[in-house]
Amino acid sequence: MDAMTTQRAWDEALERLLLLFASMDLGGIEHRHRTALDLIAQAKQRFNPDLGLSTTEVTMDVVGEELECWFTTALGESADRVRNRTAAGLLAWRVTGGSERWGDVLLAGEPPTDLRLAFENVRAQTGPDLTFSSMTHREMDYGPMESLAQETWHRFAWAPLLKAVVFWTAIFFLALAIHAHFFHP
């Protein structure tokens, strides 16, 4: 990889990282840039072209580790209850209004105590604790219509019925016409 290609690759990684921070709403622009540059520096140290990983992949690995570490601390005991701490932490950040309340603290040292307290109370719930009830349907007696239907529809087919309807309709109108012709001249 020549120097120009390498530089472009790191620029792309930086751009991607800034986009990620912006979409996460992680503090102000200056904080995002400063944090991103720090992380790029860490990623550069870890980058080894022989491993086949791109600069963006290495950068995102570093960011993923840093975010998980920071959010694990921030979530405190509740971190043990969740599978994906970064996702849970990010959700807590959004729910508690992290950017407005704590500004540029994310990935900048230890999470403040009030942030930890606020994070511990956040849970995405689809409902209160489950209290199961049994709601099962009872058999319904539909009365004589059901009996009639059960006796009929097993022998029932539409085609013969339609034929019969057509046949008897024709007979009916024929009889009507004959009646009219002979008795109402």
Q: Alpha-carbon distance 36 to 43, whole Å? A: 10
> Should residue 22 be labelled a site residue for another protein when binding is judged by CB under 8 A?
yes
> Should residue 51 be labelled a site residue for another protein when binding is judged by CB under 8 A?
no
**Angle at CA 63, nearest 5°, toward 91 and 43?**
175
> Should residue 140 be labelled a site residue for another protein when binding is judged by CB under 8 A?
yes
Specify the residue, 142 or 167, whose C-beta has the smaller distance to another protein.
Answer: 142
**Angle at CA 86, nearest 5°, toward 17 and 16?**
10
Token look-up 């009219």 returns 180
Q: What is the DSSP letter of 121?
A: T
Q: Which x/- pattern over 65-104 shows residues binding another protein (rule: CB under 8 A)? A: -----------------xxx-xxx-xx--xx-x-------
Token look-up 């500004």 returns 103
Residues of this chain that bind another protein (CB under 8 A): 9, 12, 16, 19-20, 22-25, 54-57, 60-61, 64, 82-84, 86-88, 90-91, 94-95, 97, 122-128, 130-146, 149-150, 153-154, 156, 158, 172, 176, 180, 184-185
